[in-house]
């Protein structure tokens, strides 16, 4: 009788979440040894609030790009105030790929993110204010340009630069005067002067 080699880990089909309300079981499923098993766990968990919370917790630890994408896609599908609040701390991560992915996901949740914008623009960490400006440039919200004008008044040159870039994308001619006033606040900064000229030409269509 031939010997059958024992499996070193469970097959993907064996990694089933039997109790979708058990945090330990959810965490174990999302920490399965293969990316395919973790992706399967994402799909099994995404429909419940507890599962979505587990996905948010997993995101910062996940190393597989495909699993991260599956998690973010699931969170966007089920966007909620709780999910947006869980993603916002990722604006502080040193992992640029994860941070950019979080910004892209948050941009798909404009109504859920809106209540947090003023706090982000007033954050003590200038990097958070910069990333908030980056997000506003792609946020489909009627107040996005208004918030970018607030960021434009920031004393930090890089926050202003992010706001200029955002207004170049979504600003209208009414924002041109505020943009044109920025270089005087940073005399000698050729980059800011150039970025303002480009933005103003773009929004004026000339």
Q: What is the pLDDT of residue 205?
A: 83
Q: Greater confidence, 12 or 83?
A: 83
Cβ distance 159 to 133 under 8 Å? Answer: yes
CA distance 40 to 43: 5
Please classify residue 124 by burial: count the beta carbons closer than 10 Å to its beta carbon, then call 0-12 exposed, 13-18 middle and 19+ buried.
exposed
In a domain, 151, yes or no: yes
Q: What is the pLDDT of residue 14?
A: 46
Residue 9 has pLDDT above 50, yes or no: no
Distances (CA, A) of 157 to 118, 154, 169, 185: 19, 8, 19, 9
Please state the rounded mean pLDDT for residues 79-86. 97
In a domain, 5, yes or no: no
Q: What is the pLDDT of residue 1?
A: 43
Segment 49-67, tens digit of pLDDT: 999 999 999 999 999 999 9
In a domain, 51, yes or no: no
Segment 104-160, tens digit of pLDDT: 999 999 999 999 999 999 999 999 999 999 999 999 999 999 999 999 999 999 999
Here the CATH number for the domain that contains residue 198 is 1.25.10.10
In a domain, 153, yes or no: yes
Where residue 7 falls among pLDDT bands split at 50, 70, 90?
Answer: very low
**Total number of domains constituting the chain:** 1
Here the tokens at position 107 are: 């941009």
Where residue 206 falls among pLDDT bands split at 50, 70, 90?
Answer: low
Distances (CA, A) of 18 to 38, 55, 97, 189: 15, 17, 33, 60
In a domain, 24, yes or no: no
In a domain, 200, yes or no: yes
CA distance 38 to 29: 7
| Residue showing tokens 């009788």 | 1
What is the residue range of 135's domain?
A: 117-206
In a domain, 171, yes or no: yes
Non-local (6+) Cβ contacts of 205 within 8 A are: none
Here the tokens at position 82 are: 């709780």
Q: What is the pLDDT of residue 24?
A: 84
| Residue showing tokens 């030409």 | 201
Burial 85-117 (b: 16+ CB within 10 A, else e): ebbbebbeeeeeebbebbbebbbbbbebbbebb
In a domain, 106, yes or no: no
Where residue 29 falls among pLDDT bands split at 50, 70, 90?
Answer: very high
Distances (CA, A) of 16 to 37, 45, 65, 67: 9, 10, 22, 17
Q: 185, 200, 117: which is closest to 155 by C-alpha?
A: 185
Residue 44 has pLDDT above 60, yes or no: yes
Where residue 17 falls among pLDDT bands split at 50, 70, 90?
Answer: low
The total number of residues shown for the chain amounts to 206
| Residue showing tokens 């609030």 | 49
Q: Backbone phi, then psi, for 52, in 5-degree steps?
A: -65, -40
């Amino acid at each position: 009788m031939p010997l059958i080699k024992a499996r070193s880990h469970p097959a993907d089909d064996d990694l089933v979440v039997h109790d979708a309300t058990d945090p330990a079981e959810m965490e174990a499923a999302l920490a399965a040894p293969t990316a395919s098993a973790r992706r399967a766990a994402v799909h099994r968990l995404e429909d419940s609030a507890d599962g979505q919370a587990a996905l948010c917790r997993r995101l910062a630890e996940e190393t597989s790009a495909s699993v991260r994408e599956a998690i973010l896609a699931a969170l966007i599908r089920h966007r909620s105030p709780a999910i947006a609040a869980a993603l916002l701390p990722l604006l502080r991560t040193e992992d640029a790929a994860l941070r950019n992915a979080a910004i892209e996901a948050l941009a798909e949740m404009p109504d859920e993110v809106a209540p947090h914008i003023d706090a982000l623009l007033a954050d003590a960490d200038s990097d958070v204010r910069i990333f908030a400006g980056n997000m506003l440039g792609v946020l489909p919200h009627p107040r996005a340009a208004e918030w970018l004008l607030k960021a434009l008044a920031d004393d930090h040159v890089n926050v202003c630069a992010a706001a200029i870039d955002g207004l170049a994308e979504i600003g209208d001619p009414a924002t041109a005067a505020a943009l044109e006033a920025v270089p005087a606040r940073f005399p000698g900064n050729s980059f800011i002067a150039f970025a303002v000229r480009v933005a103003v030409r773009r929004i004026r269509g000339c």
